[in-house]
Amino acid sequence: MNFDLSEEQQMLNDSLRRFVTNEYGFEKRGEIISSGTGINRATWSNFAEMGLLGFTFPEDYDGLGGNAIDTMVVMENFGRGLVVEPYLATVVLAGGLIRDAGNDAQKADILPGIASGERLLALAHYEPGARYNLSHVQTTARKDGDHFLISGQKTAVLHGGQANQLIVSARTSGGVNDESGLSLFLVDSSAKGVKVDDFATHDGHRTAEISFSNVTVSADNLIGAIDEAFPAIEKAVDLGIAALCAEAVGAMEAMNAATLEYIKTRKQFGVPIGKFQVLQHRMADMFIQTEQAKTMAILAASEAGSDDLASRREAISMAKTLVGQAARYVGQQGVQLHGGMGVTDEMFAAHLFKRLTLINLLFGDADHHLAQVSDGLLTTTA
C-alpha cells in the first residue's frame, strides 16, 4: 500500500509540468483551438518524442510498457494546462483498444503509427439516444462474403473528424441493448459511405457525428472475436474514465491556484476579497473536494486495468461520481469567486470551468455513475 510515484513517473510529471507551464500558454492554446483541426502538429510530435503517445503500449510496438498510473500522470498535467490534443481519443481509447483487443497484425500495423504521432485514431461507439448506456448499439455490421457492411449513426466521437481511422462498434447479433452481439471494426475515415460532421466543442476539443452507409470493411479489420466486443469496449471506456478523472484533478488544481491568486489580489471594500471568511471557507471546500477527487483518480487509475469486473465497476463509477461532483463544485465556485471576470472568455478560469463541466458529461455524468454504484448494491452482499 503506497501512493508514491516511481522515480520515472516523478520525472515524467516534472517535465510535463514544465512543458505545460512554458510551452502551452493561454494564447498559444487559443491559437491551436482556432486553427483548422484544433490540433498542433508540432506539439503532437513533441509528445511523440517525449514517448507519451506510446507510453502504455508494449515495447515490441515502440511503446514504453507503461500503465494507467502513467496515463494518470500525463492527464493530470494535461488537465492543468487544458491541453486540447487528442490524447484521450487516440492514445487512451483507440490505442488502448488495439493494445488490449487487437491481434498481432493490427498491433504491428497501428500502435507504432500512434506512438510516432503519424496516425490519429478515434473510437466511434456512442449512438443517438443511447445516452450513457454502453451496450445500446443500433449500428449494424452485416456479413457479406468475406466483408462486412456497416450502417448506422455514431455520436460524440471524440476527435472523430481528425482521425485517419475509426474503431467502430456495430451489432453483429442480439437486440439493441444487449451486451452480447457487439463487434469492433477498423474503418478508414476516407472509406466510401463514411460521412463525418466535425464540430468544435465548448472546451476547445473536437467531436464528431459520423454516419456509416453500407461501408465495406474486410474481415481482417475485425478487432477481437465477433459478437464479443463488449468487455473490450467497457474496459477502454473505463480506462478513458480514469484518464478523465486525472485530467479533471489537474484542471481543479489549476482552478484552485488561479482562484486563490485572484482572491488574494482582487480588492473590494479596501481589502483583498480573500479576507472574507465566506470566500475562505469556499476555497477550503474547493480544496477538500479536489483532494478527495485526487484520491479517487488514483483509485480509478489503479483499478481501470483490472479484470475483476465488479470491483472495477464500483471503483471506476465511484471515482467518476465524486470527481464529476467535485468538478462541478470547483468549476462553478471558481467562476463565482472570479466575479464578473469569471464569465469572460479572457480568463483561464472560464476555460477550466468549461472543461470541468464537460468532463462530467463524458462517458456518463455523476448521476449515471452513482446509479451504477447504487445498483451494484443490489447484487453484492458485503
- Could you say which of 6, 21, 213, 218 contacts other proteins (CB under 8 A)? 6
Q: Is 268 in the site for other proteins (CB under 8 A)?
A: yes
Site for other proteins contains 342 (CB under 8 A)? yes
CB of 275 to its own copies, least distance (A): 10
Q: What is the largest CA-CA distance in the chain?
A: 78
Binds its own copies (CB under 8 A): choice among 2, 22, 190, 277 = 277
Among 37, 51, 100, 136, interactor with other proteins by CB under 8 A: 136
Nearer to other proteins, 115 or 134 (CB): 134
Contact partner, 69, from its own copies, other proteins, none, Cβ < 5-8 Å per class: other proteins
Separation between Cα atoms, residue 187 and residue 194, nearest integer Å: 9
Q: Is 270 in the site for its own copies (CB under 8 A)?
A: no
Q: Rounded to an integer, what distance in angstroms lies between the CA atom of residue 208 and that of residue 156?
A: 6
Q: Residue 22 binds what, of its own copies, other proteins, none (CB under 5 to 8 Å, by partner type)?
A: none
* 152 contacts other proteins (rule: CB under 8 A): no
Judged by beta carbon, residue 45 or residue 295, the one nearer other proteins is 295
The kind and range of the H/E element at 333 are: helix 309-337
Q: Which of 76, 203, 238, 253 binds other proteins (CB under 8 A)?
A: 203
Q: Which of 28, 202, 264, 281 binds its own copies (CB under 8 A)?
A: 281
Distance CA 337, CA 188 (A): 47
Interface with its own copies (CB under 8 A), residue from 272, 276, 295, 357: 276
- Binding-site partner at residue 130 among its own copies, other proteins, none, CB < 5 to 8 Å by type: other proteins
Residue 90 vs 207, nearer CB to other proteins: 207
**How many whole angstroms separate alpha carbon 80 and alpha carbon 82?**
6
Range 103-112, long-range pairs (CB < 8 A, 24+ positions): 103/223, 105/220, 106/186, 106/223, 107/58, 107/60, 107/61, 108/61, 110/165, 110/186, 111/54, 111/57, 111/58, 111/61, 111/62, 111/63, 112/54, 112/61, 112/62
26 binds, among other proteins, its own copies, none (CB under 5 to 8 A by kind): none
Task: Let me know the angle formed at the C-alpha of 106 by 96 and 60, rounded to the nearest 5 degrees.
Answer: 70
Q: Which of residues 68-107 bind other proteins (CB under 8 A)?
A: 69
Asked if residue 381 binds its own copies (CB under 8 A), the reply is no
Cα 285 to the center of its chain, rounded Å: 26
46-75 footprint of other proteins as x/- string (CB under 8 A): -----------------------x------
Q: Is the separation of the CB atoms in 91 and 53 below 8 Å?
A: yes
User: What number of other Cβ atoms are within 10 A of residue 156's Cβ?
Assistant: 20
Quickly list DSSP for 137-167: ---EEEEETTEEEEEEEEEEEETTTT-SEEE
Q: Given its phi and psi angles, is residue 193 left (phi above 0), alpha (psi -120 to 50 degrees) or beta?
A: left
The minimum distance between CB 119 and other proteins, in angstroms, equals 24
User: Out of 13, 133, 140, 153, which residue is the one contacting other proteins (CB under 8 A)?
Assistant: 133
Q: Cα–Cα–Cα angle for 216, 205, 313, nearest 5°?
A: 75
β-pairing, 206-218 vs 165-171, is: unpaired
Nearest-Å Rg of the Cα atoms of the chain is 21
Q: How far is the CB of 24 from other proteins (least distance, A)?
A: 20
Determine if 260 is a binding residue for other proteins (CB under 8 A).
yes
- Partner in contact with 268, chosen from its own copies, other proteins, none, beta carbon below 5 to 8 Å by kind: other proteins
Per CB under 8 A, the list member of 18, 28, 41, 264 interacting with other proteins is 264
Contact stretch for other proteins (CB under 8 A) within 104-112, 165-173, 178-186, 348-356: 348-356
Binding footprint of its own copies on the chain (CB under 8 A):
276-278, 281
